[in-house]
Amino acid sequence: MRRTLERRIRQWRALEGPTQEVFFPQEHQPGVRGLSDFTDMSKLCVTIGGAPFGHRLYHFVLAFSRWEYANVVEGGREFRGSRSGIAERAMAGGRLSP
């Protein structure tokens, strides 16, 4: 009888009791996920020789190890910048030889 009562109280608390925090843990596996993005740096108003320097910052991070790499990309050529950034990032991380 006691176990039945305890089970019913647990069920009632789960359905009608106070709200509980929902948590979805993220487990990053080594070498599986890399995050990559561009940041427009025009708001910084960087000038070189008095001329505005339009550039973006390419940023890459490995989710598991938190290893990060950043590269300055001139102009607005994202794909070209990401391609060169990926190659430089891989060399910096020791994956490719120059």
The predicted pLDDT at position 96 comes to: 45
The answer to the question of residue 12 being in a domain is: no
What range does the domain containing 66 cover? 33-98
- Count of domains forming the chain: 1
Query: Six-digit token pair at 96?
Result: 């490719």
Q: What are the pLDDT digits (tens) for 14-65?
A: 888 888 888 888 887 887 788 888 888 878 888 888 888 878 888 888 888 8
For the beta sheet containing 55-62, the strands, ordered from the edge strand earlier in sequence to the opposite edge, are 34-40, 55-62, 68-74
The answer to the question of residue 18 being in a domain is: no
The predicted pLDDT at position 78 comes to: 55
The predicted pLDDT at position 64 comes to: 86
The answer to the question of residue 82 being in a domain is: yes
Give the alpha-carbon dihedral of 80, 82, 87, 89, to 10 degrees: 150
The answer to the question of residue 15 being in a domain is: no
Which range (3-12, 21-30, 77-86) has the least confidence?
77-86
